[in-house]
Amino acid sequence: MNKPILRSMKESDLTTVLNWRNHSDVRKYMYSTKQIKINEHLDWYAKESQNPAVHLLIYEKDEQPMGFVNISHKRFPKIAEWGFYLDPNGGVRGSGMELGNLAIDFTFKNLKMHKLCGQAIAFNSRSITFHEKLGFLKEGVGRDHFFDGFQFHDVMYFGLLRREAQLLIKD
């Protein structure tokens, strides 16, 4: 068994990542729940993969892609935001925590960020619990901050500072 890793996303990952993103179990927790078309996905990748403030990463275990992580520091040079999802058909217990810990390591060790921020729509209790288990602190609530086309939902905001993550980062 190989050690789980995060690696840069490649063009050969595009179909896999699009299939994960378009899966109903992933899509229902996104700000946009529409199916992403291949041309939109290719345009997104062409743009984002060239941006030095965006890191598109694949979580891999035993050389098998298991998840996707997007770490971006477009707004502020030392503060990153992240988004992520696992292969909805992967189902390997503990994969989420591995992905999260690898992303935290990458953010603070490789990118030397001061802070990592996350968001979760309030009905996504798994993501909220996941952030908390990883050591993120709830920093606020955007009340009725997201409209899904039918109703408004709160958005939960999370943050993890470098000094808080020092206990989590493995050397």
Per-10-residue mean pLDDT for the chain, 171 residues long? 92 97 95 95 97 97 95 95 94 88 96 98 96 97 96 98 78 48
- At the topology level, CATH places domain 5-165 in Aminopeptidase (3.40.630)
**Which CA distances in Å does 39 have to 14, 44, 56, 68, 137?**
11, 9, 18, 19, 37
Name the residue ranges covered by the structural domains of the chain: 5-165
- pLDDT at position 6: 97
- pLDDT at position 37: 97
- pLDDT at position 170: 53
- pLDDT at position 166: 79
- pLDDT at position 168: 60
- pLDDT at position 167: 65
